[in-house]
Structure 1
Amino acid sequence: MQYVAVSALSHPGLLRERNEDSLVVGPWTLCATVTESPQTLVFPLGTPLVVAVADGLGGHPGGEVASALAARRIAAMGPSLDGEDVVRAVLKACNRAVYQAAEGGELAAMGTTVAGVVVQPDSLLVFNVGDSRVLAVDRDGLRQVSVDDSPPLEPGQRTTSLVTQCLGGTTAYRDVEPHVTAVPLKPGDRYIICTDGLTDPLTTDVIEELVREHDDGRAVFELWKAAIAAGGPDNITVAVVRVSDE
């Protein structure tokens, strides 16, 4: 029997007053909350299993509201996410829901990024809107499999806090074009789903080294610890997903 193990952690970092990130692991959501240590959940491989992060836009009111709204809707629809078109439709529905929740009130322009995977018996659906990321770790190394919605970087610039699309985020309704890709599912491969609170302060070399050196739960802890040591400038949410034989 094959199973899916998910280890995850969410933390506000060192500079933010509150955590505006949300996390989805199957039917379970963690919204605007702090975990003191990684939590690990194990599921049988079979029914579509969604693992995702949502990062409420900093500097906008209601970032934690937008991320929680998206996370809970994605979790509720998780078992039905059996194809690329379905995932796109759910993300577009999340975008409409964020706008509707903010309409005409003090939460106008609230928004969130989102990124995640849907684990199916024979493939993995990778999705994102914004700059939260999905990274794959296999025998060939670490590579990004999500697509950043960010403007081009200036020479010498490694990261940017700007996004070209997200769920919500503007006072006038704007549609989104989610990135959704199917990739082969191979037992033993690991996937990192994270907000930019992890990838902004840490280089890909550091992330790869830590994930290769440690097993899943410990890897999540060490990634968080490294981001904190690098200044912890933003909320940090990270999940490591592995499909394994018994």
Structure 2
Amino acid sequence: MRYITVTALSHPGLLRDHNEDSLVAGPWTLCGTATENPQTLVFPLGTPLVVAVADGIGGQPAGEVASALTVRQLAALGPSLSSEQAVREALNLCNRAVYTAAGRDPDLMTMGTTVAGAVVLAESLLIFNVGDSRVLDVTGDGLRQVSVDDSPPLPPGRRTTSLVTQALGGATRFSAITPHVATAPLTAGDRYLICTDGLTDPVPEDELDDLLRTHENGRAAFELWKSAIEAGGPDNITLALLGIGE
């Protein structure tokens, strides 16, 4: 019987005074907290299982509220996410929920979040994102990004940017989104990394690839987190390692 493993970790980093990231794995959510010790969950393969990270937009109020609202909505909708269209509709619901919550409280005005993740189905994977949090395929010969960054073009010589071209919420007036959603085949042994830019901005992709080739599950999550901390830990760090076993 095939099964799903999810190893997750979330940490504020070294420079931020609190964690605005959130995470969902099936019915389990982790919001605005710190877990230096990776947690591994095991799920049966069958019912749609959503695994995602949400990164509250820095420099704007209540990013942790927007990210928590998003992952809790996805946790509730997770078992119904059986198609690309269902995922798009769920992300649009999350976007409206963030704007609705912001409209009720002036202290939440312009709060927003990115989101990236995957829904594991019996024979396939639905990959999705809005913003610059990422989904990376670890299965092949090299790390391969399968999400689509919503970021402006980078000038020559620059590897990262804090700007995003779309997010859930984040503006004074409602703005519709166009989620990125794609389907990939699923086989035993597949591995994916789902993470916020607190990992991918400070740590080059070749270093991430080396760590994921060398380690698995909890040790891999710990080493990824440590690499971001050793690079200065400039942002909140949240990641989920998704694996298919049998």
Instruction: Indicate whether the TM-score tops 0.5.
Output: yes
Q: CA deviation at 1:14?
A: 0.2
List aligned pairs for 1:112-123, cutoff 5 A: 112-123=113-124
State the secondary structure of the residue aligned to 2:138.
Answer: strand
State the secondary structure of the residue aligned to 2:97.
Answer: helix
Task: Tell me the TM-score normalized by structure 2.
Answer: 0.99
Long gaps (5+) in structure 2: none
The amino acid that maps onto 1:66 is A
List per-residue Cα deviations over 1:29-54 (Å, max 9, x = no partner).
00001112000000011000000000
Q: Which residue of 1 aligns with 2:54?
A: 54
User: Matched residue pairs, number?
Assistant: 245
Q: CA deviation at 1:217?
A: 1.1
The amino acid that maps onto 1:209 is D
Task: Say whether residues 1:154 and 2:155 are aligned partners.
Answer: yes
Identity of aligned residues (%): 68
Q: Which residue of 1 aligns with 2:239?
A: 238
Q: CA deviation at 1:139?
A: 2.9
The amino acid that maps onto 1:196 is D
Q: Distance in 2 between matches of 1:124 and 1:80?
A: 14
List per-residue Cα deviations over 1:149-196 (Å, max 9, x = no partner).
000000000000000000000001100000000001121120000000
Q: Which residue of 2 aligns with 1:133?
A: 134
The amino acid that maps onto 1:80 is S
Q: CA deviation at 1:140?
A: 2.4
Q: Which residue of 1 aligns with 2:24?
A: 24
Long gaps (5+) in structure 1: none
The amino acid that maps onto 2:184 is V
Q: CA deviation at 1:122?
A: 0.3
Q: Aligned-pair RMSD on alpha carbons? A: 0.6
Q: Which residue of 1 aligns with 2:11?
A: 11
Task: Say whether residues 1:33 and 2:25 are aligned partners.
Answer: no
List per-residue Cα deviations over 1:64-110 (Å, max 9, x = no partner).
00000001000100000000000000100100010000015121100
State the secondary structure of the residue aligned to 2:107.
Answer: coil
Q: Distance in 1 between matches of 2:3 and 2:72?
A: 23
List aligned pairs for 1:39-118, cutoff 5 A: 39-103=39-103, 105-118=106-119
List per-residue Cα deviations over 1:117-164 (Å, max 9, x = no partner).
000110000000000000001232110000000000000000000000
After TM superposition, the structure 1 stretch with the greater mean CA deviation from structure 2, 100-109 or 28-37, is 100-109
State the secondary structure of the residue aligned to 1:138.
Answer: coil
Task: Tell me the TM-score normalized by structure 1.
Answer: 0.99
State the secondary structure of the residue aligned to 2:143.
Answer: strand
State the secondary structure of the residue aligned to 2:67.
Answer: helix
Q: CA deviation at 1:15?
A: 0.2
Q: Distance in 1 between matches of 2:140 and 2:201?
A: 24
Q: CA deviation at 1:235?
A: 0.1
The amino acid that maps onto 1:194 is C
